Amino acid sequence: MSRFDHLFAQLSAKKQGAFVPFVTLCDPDFDRSFDIICTLVDNGADALELGFPFSDPLLDGPVIQAANNRALQAGCSTAESFRLVEKVRSKYPQIPIGLLLCANLIYAQTLDVFYQRCAQAGVDAVLVADIPLLAAQPYIQAARKHGIQPVFICPPNADEKTVQGVAAHSEGYTYLVSRAGVTSAEDQTHAANLDSLIEQLKTHGSPPILQGFGIAAPAQVRAALQLGAAGAISGSATVSIIERHLHDHAQCLSALADFVKAMKAATR
């Protein structure tokens, strides 16, 4: 049983949902990023979704774009990102770790080398943001070869064929996007058909569904669970806390701790 599978089994037994924060690795630098990730885990994060810094992120709005830029300006490379993941895995052997990144970062390493490196670092799952299902087979094969669970996005405009494909090929969890557009904590509107998509995904045997995009407050976590999702992912809201406290690291960690505690409390 994978770490994600084990997590969702445990949460189901407790009648809880999952709260999963997203941060960009090495934002604002390697050491502070490690402190930030530790704070997330120590204050109740059920799993981690971590981004590799990239100059041209496709799904990300201004907040996460700025995080990418900070990490790149701090000299963070793919190698440094993996080194940070290894450090997190060493401290937290059981926390599920998913990566969210663009295909160019994988392609530059070659698929086999990248997924092998994921396995060595202790990564559990990888979501490639810009690879559609029709082009995903080489990534799925490379991931499974090295024991990494491939994750796919179900967009709010997904037709039946897309829903079926996402459900069939995702492992660990399924990423349900709340609305069209890019990531943003400010835009908290959600598509009207999310309950229908969740029902369809479950009908097709999807792994547990995590809802993301615009999840910035405990009420939205509760709403995602009421729709039938297994939990919620919060990226821009988490990263905006880092951005607001760049010049006061202690205050940053304190604010993140309070945020995670509140979001996790909403899952109970």
Residue of 60, 80, 124, 171 marked catalytic: 60
User: How many whole angstroms separate alpha carbon 98 and alpha carbon 89?
Assistant: 12
Spatial strand order of the sheet with 97-101 comes to 149-151, 125-128, 97-101, 48-51, 18-24, 231-234, 209-212, 174-177, 153-154
49 classed as catalytic: yes
User: How many whole angstroms separate alpha carbon 64 and alpha carbon 70?
Assistant: 10
258 classed as catalytic: no
Chain centroid, CA 266 distance in Å: 18
Residue of 46, 49, 80, 171 marked catalytic: 49
Chain centroid, CA 57 distance in Å: 14
Q: 240 phi and psi, to 5 degrees?
A: -65, -30
User: How many whole angstroms separate alpha carbon 164 and alpha carbon 86?
Assistant: 34
Two tokens, residue 149: 């669970």
Catalytic center residues: 49, 60
